[in-house]
Amino acid sequence: MTFDVNQTEFISDFQREVWKLGIRVVPLEVSLADITDPETREGCKQVYQCTMEILADMYRNPTEYHTAQPLDYVLWVLMWATGKRSVPAHVKKRKGLYEQMLEKMRRFGFVFDGETFVNTRYPLFMKYWSLLPECPQYCDFRPLAPNYKRAKTLDDLLRPLPDQLKIYFHELYDYALDKGAKRMAYNPYKPYCFVHKKKHVLIFDNIGMFVAVPYMNQYTSGDAVGELRRFVEIA
């Protein structure tokens, strides 16, 4: 299934949340571009195929999954079953919810016997899913490539955006670079931030899908008022 970044109508909020995950999955031709080892490539493909199968089934059958969140099925239930994270209290309080989630995962080949968690349809899934250092639900396998350097690219910023927003984001991105603003160091959990003379001037968020001008928020410190105005004046 291909998730359309330009889609605007959904049958439920749950389906929209599945779509938000789907449009952020990194295409295999991008994430495997620098990986040549045959087993690694095959393992990554299995992770990708299984993840997309789960997302597609949730998207097409949202009422079967709505008791939990989409991210629970492509991230947290795997974390809980493998012991990487403890089952949280709010899940334990909802009697039978965790067990129901595990049962749904069986349709994708997952088997959990109380101690081990494996996938019989995608035998390399657990090995390579566990190797991903951050946000495995997005299937970004580039960190597994030799000599990988952590960096967000312009393509990563634009990929999940609707076509019209791609144009606006690209123009502002190029403008900021052309006028001397610098991209902040890579952080997979934060938006793209530009600084000028140690001041934040623009924030690109492709999750909330907006461009922000920082005025004393979590991205700034000190006197942030007027930063964009000053940046535009000198630029």
Tens place of pLDDT per residue across the chain (235 aa): 899 999 999 999 999 999 999 999 999 999 999 999 999 999 999 999 999 999 999 999 999 998 889 999 898 888 888 877 888 888 877 878 888 888 899 999 999 877 778 899 999 999 999 998 778 899 999 999 998 877 777 888 889 999 988 888 888 888 888 888 888 766 655 678 888 877 777 888 877 777 776 654 555 554 444 555 555 554 4
User: Amino acid identity, residue 79?
Assistant: M
What are the boundaries of each domain within the chain?
Answer: 13-144, 154-234
Q: Which one, of 154, 233, 229, 169, lies nearest residue 203 by Cα?
A: 169
Nearest to 137 by CA among 228, 75, 86: 75
With CA atoms as reference, report the closest residue to 17 among 53, 68, 51. 68
CB atoms within 10 A of CB 198: 8
Give the largest CA-CA distance in the chain: 64
Residue 215's pLDDT is what?
A: 53
User: Which SS3 state, helix, strand or coil, does residue 117 take?
Assistant: strand
